[in-house]
């Protein structure tokens, strides 16, 4: 019996080793192809050309990369990540199919809080899992607060690192800069909100199912009719969410005054009905319309601001020691391969700005443009200060670690920014950023 069990154990080890060897061979071939594509997109190829207009999308990680470590990553890390991804995908699909079957057999379950709660947990898990799988080992939240106005009429702000998020129930719409596919994972993990997504997402079973759960709005960029329909859906969703947030505020006021009043129970009942609708979480919109390398915030498209409802800006910033997670000028599957082989650590910092409101002028179009420009201007200032703070902040943390201090609890580093109350938006134009990116890729390929 002992020798039989030992023989079985050796057979199992041999089987696992064969799977690992096969995945390693696939990973090395995948990395070889992906790395060749990556090298072709190096900005050094266009040294004799003025690349300033392409600065928002050029790769910024070429100086960080070690080919030796990357090859080792393709042998050690990539196979394990592929294996874990396959197993997790099977489990998630099985759970989603089971929930879908239960929902079709018992339609009343679709309205049950527990049923919806399980769906939200799956969304949060998918966000958390993809962040970790692709190398994001640390997520820091910073909350920006107004500190008043100085003598020159400038609004002063300060940041404080936070252990949690701002109150999501008070947020109508989140507008964020767009750098990576990890941006979506981040918001799924921490907000479990809906997005404006391309129609191709819906055709993928697992991504499409998750997108339907969180209430994504689908758009076909090549079709004017669907773009117009999506715009109306976005505005309708924002207005409904705004009404829900206002009703919650009314419920809070009434319940605080008369906690046992029947009106309070009525309000809570109405709120609970709303919670089963798509407006239960904010809508996240990336108004840049495309991804960048994270060094700047390109001009906004106006669709997120046309309803003139309040928005909560979020500035995302990635710190990386090897491959950048930016989905800028390299294909999707190439980026996934590089992140699977990534041997470095990625840290994501999210800067949550205070809610901003539109100023209603005589012309709605002017009001929309002014609103978008004002939001973008503040986000640019925040990104600039965050870039300067990034290296200083991590130096401070490393010093604290050497002093054996719990940085998670003691790190309350602050810095201030000032931005003019009367913003000059004359230099903000809606340029064809996506066309510039495509032109840059063509130049690199040639």
The answer to whether residue 4 sits within a structural domain is no
pLDDT value for 310: 94
For residue 263, what pLDDT band results from cuts at 50, 70 and 90? Answer: very low
For residue 281, what pLDDT band results from cuts at 50, 70 and 90? Answer: confident
The answer to whether residue 9 sits within a structural domain is no
Instruction: Return the closest-CA partner of residue 169 out of 196, 143, 144, 193.
Output: 193
Angle at 296 between CA 283 and CA 186, to 5 degrees: 35
* Residues 238, 240, 245, 250, CA torsion sign: positive
* Contact (CB, 8 A) for 213 and 123: yes
Please give the backbone phi and psi of residue 136, each rounded to the nearest 5 degrees, phi first.
Answer: -80, 105
Helix (H) or strand (E) holding 187: helix 182-190
Among 80-84, 219-223, 328-332, 376-380, the minimum mean pLDDT is found in 219-223
**Could you give the dihedral angle defined by the CA atoms of residues 231, 237, 242 and 243, in that order, rounded to the nearest 10 degrees?**
130
For residue 119, what pLDDT band results from cuts at 50, 70 and 90? Answer: confident
Q: Report the predicted TM-score, pTM, of the whole model to 2 decimal places.
A: 0.84
For residue 84, what pLDDT band results from cuts at 50, 70 and 90? Answer: very high
Q: Give the separation between CA 214 and CA 245, rounded to whole angstroms.
A: 18
Count of domains for the chain: 1
pLDDT of residue 266 exceeding 50: no
The answer to whether residue 374 sits within a structural domain is yes
* Contact (CB, 8 A) for 177 and 383: yes
Average pLDDT along the chain? 80
Among 318-322, 365-369, 427-431, the minimum mean pLDDT is found in 427-431
pLDDT of residue 40 exceeding 60: yes
The answer to whether residue 8 sits within a structural domain is no
The residue with tokens 């200032």 is 381
> pLDDT by residue (tens digit) across 63-79?
888 899 999 999 999 99
Instruction: Return the closest-CA partner of residue 216 out of 144, 318, 285.
Output: 285
The answer to whether residue 7 sits within a structural domain is no
For residue 355, what pLDDT band results from cuts at 50, 70 and 90? Answer: very high
Strand partners, 197: 218
Name the 3-class secondary structure at 59.
Answer: coil
pLDDT of residue 382 exceeding 80: yes
> In the structure encoding, which two tokens stand for residue 109, read together?
């379950």
pLDDT value for 224: 76
pLDDT value for 168: 85
pLDDT of residue 421 exceeding 50: no
Q: Give the separation between CA 152 and CA 104, rounded to whole angstroms.
A: 63
Residue-number span of the structural domain to which 32 is assigned: 17-445
Strands (E), 27-153: 136-149
Q: Give the separation between CA 295 and CA 317, rounded to whole angstroms.
A: 9
């Amino acid at each position: 019996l002992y020798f039989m069990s030992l023989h079985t154990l050796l057979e199992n080890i041999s089987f696992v080793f064969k799977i690992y060897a096969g995945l390693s061979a696939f990973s090395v071939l995948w990395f070889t192809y992906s790395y060749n594509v990556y090298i072709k997109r190096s900005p050094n190829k266009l040294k004799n050309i003025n690349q300033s207009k392409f600065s928002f999308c050029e790769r910024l990680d070429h100086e960080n990369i070690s080919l030796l470590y990357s090859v080792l990553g393709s042998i050690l890390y990539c196979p394990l990540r592929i294996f874990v991804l396959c197993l997790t995908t099977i489990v998630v699909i099985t759970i989603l199919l089971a929930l879908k079957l239960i929902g079709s057999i018992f339609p009343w379950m679709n309205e049950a809080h527990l049923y919806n709660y399980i769906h939200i947990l799956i969304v949060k898990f998918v966000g958390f899992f993809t962040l970790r799988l692709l190398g994001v080992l640390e997520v820091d939240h910073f909350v920006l607060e107004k500190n008043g106005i100085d003598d020159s009429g400038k609004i002063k702000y300060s940041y404080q690192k936070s252990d949690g998020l701002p109150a999501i129930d008070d947020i109508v719409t989140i507008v964020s800069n767009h750098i990576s596919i990890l941006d979506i994972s981040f918001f799924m993990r921490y907000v479990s909100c809906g997005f404006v997504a391309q129609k191709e997402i819906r055709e993928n079973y697992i991504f499409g199912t998750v997108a339907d759960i969180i209430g994504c709005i689908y758009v076909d960029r090549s079709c004017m009719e669907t773009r117009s329909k999506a715009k109306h859906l976005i505005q309708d969703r924002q207005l409904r969410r705004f009404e829900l947030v206002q009703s919650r505020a009314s419920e809070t006021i009434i319940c605080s005054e008369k906690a046992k009043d029947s009106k309070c129970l009525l309000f809570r009942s109405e709120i609970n009905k709303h919670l089963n609708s798509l407006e239960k979480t904010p809508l996240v919109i990336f108004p840049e319309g495309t991804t960048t390398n994270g060094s700047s915030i390109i001009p906004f498209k106006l669709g997120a601001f046309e309803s003139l409802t309040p928005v909560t800006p979020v500035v995302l910033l990635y710190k990386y020691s090897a491959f950048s997670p930016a989905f800028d000028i390299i294909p999707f599957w190439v980026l996934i391969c590089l992140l699977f082989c990534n041997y470095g650590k990625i840290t994501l910092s999210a800067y949550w700005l205070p809610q901003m409101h539109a100023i209603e002028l005589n012309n709605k179009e002017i009001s929309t443009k002014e609103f978008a420009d004002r939001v973008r201007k503040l986000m640019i200032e925040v990104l600039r200060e965050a870039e300067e703070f990034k290296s200083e902040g991590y130096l401070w943390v490393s010093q604290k670690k050497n002093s054996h201090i719990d940085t998670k609890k003691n790190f309350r580093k602050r810095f201030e920014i000032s931005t003019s109350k009367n913003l000059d938006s004359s230099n903000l134009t809606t340029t064809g950023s996506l066309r510039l990116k495509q032109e840059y890729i063509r130049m690199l390929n040639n």
